[in-house]
Structure 1
């Protein structure tokens, strides 16, 4: 549909893939989102969930799209060497990163993980990919009706949040992020203001947080708090702790819904439409 706007989750787990019987319902693949806005296709992060998405793309018609990285920790980039469209010259993939604070380039990181003895296939074999940089806080340039805004997040090594606005609807992705940096926390309520959907890093609970302070992740309670401050319609808890079972995520979901009706827990295959 020409005006279709949606987000599909291909990976929702944090830190490391978690296959197994206790993670079947919510999924064990790491960060990967598909966003459709009319004819535009955007991929956010290329974690292990991107492998399945890549195979799906090769069966479809889309051949040109943008790949936006929130950051380049392994759980958000490990799917790129297994992302089939990246090797196919019939595709055009523009890969963006804006979180670097020291002059590092995205291609430098990809070349490091795709080199012996870590990986046998070099980054230069990614024939379809063009690497570009921006600075978190800038808009991503486009020539269509989709507006992509960005913001700096609080995470070791830096991270970038995204807001997608299309025909009066909005989707925000706020991961990986740890609350507590005053400069970042001051900006976020305005950045997500009025969003229809907000993906938020809810790796921990408030009770767990003291043991993991400084790791770069937040809690479901902070997701609810930000949703309330920003008048967000549907907060979606994301970046699930790899220790977290489906049953435990069920419990968190119930508590979050009680605190902020409409809150969802992200799962693989989930499709959300503003």
Structure 2
């Protein structure tokens, strides 16, 4: 039987890259898997996005099966879904996966889009092999909802084809998962600022540096991602307690990210760069963040 994931509020990072996986000797310390973040909240397991990090998470869950997990997708670009066809719990009868996301404008339902457009044409494994109990819930972006005492707020992010940010609140503690968004050129994004307000943990898409974003030879303006400098601005304005830089560019190696982390900490001391295995105890801020190695 499944063990109780946690009675507290713990966030663990399984994939921290954007766009494409970045395996290799120079990405070992931060990891090369794409977006996947697990939150163990008040005894429930919430999983945000299904990049290649989801496959690693799935392996670690096998000893605990049968499991129940609540999955939330920000959007359906490759780096946020490509791990799902290889997520072991989805293929084992007795597991329960509650899948949440917005309905794309060209689909009749979230379930239809996920099964027929995300999985069917792109998965090497027949959908009939998915023996877990899959239940789909459609989210209307901007409308809050609850999950057995866990409050979840959502908001539209500035990203090509759109994306959705999630603020998770339980027992007075909040985490805002804000990836795949681009800052506005002349003002704060009011949606991001609102969802980040006084958050205990603010996970932000800082794929580029300001220099890369404005590089006249290869600008990244309009690509749907932000910078660590903008992350710091939002964190300060919103009164965030701890900032996590996330969605690293696949070309940024460990040494480059070390340099960014030093700069971020100078600008916002209570900050850290996301890395695979990083675990943060939201309810106990004095407990140092740790990096766990998957078994």
TM-score, scaled to structure 1: 0.93
Correspondence for 2:131 among 106, 127, 130: 127
Alpha-carbon distance between aligned partners in 2 of 1:184 and 1:127, rounded to the nearest angstrom: 45
Q: Does 1:106 align with 2:144?
A: no
Specify every segment of 5 or more residues in structure 1 that has no aligned partner in the other structure, as ranges: none
Give the total of aligned pairs: 272
Instruction: State how 1:1-274 maps to structure 2 within 5 Å.
Output: 3-60=7-64, 63-98=67-102, 100-103=104-107, 105-107=109-111, 108-115=113-120, 118-128=122-132, 129-142=134-147, 144-180=148-184, 185-210=189-214, 211-274=219-282
Task: Tell me if the contact between 2:38 and 2:46 (Cα under 8 Å) persists in the aligned partners.
Answer: yes
Deviations 1:212-243 (A, max 9, x none): 11111000011101101110011100000000
Question: TM-score, with normalisation over the residues of structure 2?
Answer: 0.87
Q: 1:102 deviation in Å?
A: 4.5
Change (3 A) 1:145 1:62: farther
Over aligned residues, Cα RMSD in angstroms?
2.0
Query: 2-side partners of 1:237 and 1:245: how far apart?
Result: 15
* Distance in 2 between residues matched to 1:83 and 1:184, nearest whole Å: 37
Q: Deviations over 1:42-95 (max 9, x none)?
A: 010010011111111121156112100011100100000000111122111011
| CA distance, structure 2, for counterparts of residue 121 and residue 74 of structure 1 | 17
Q: Which 10-residue stretch deviates more, 181-190 or 5-14?
A: 181-190
CA contact (8 A) 1:201 1:239 kept: yes
Structure 2 unmatched runs, 5+: 283-295
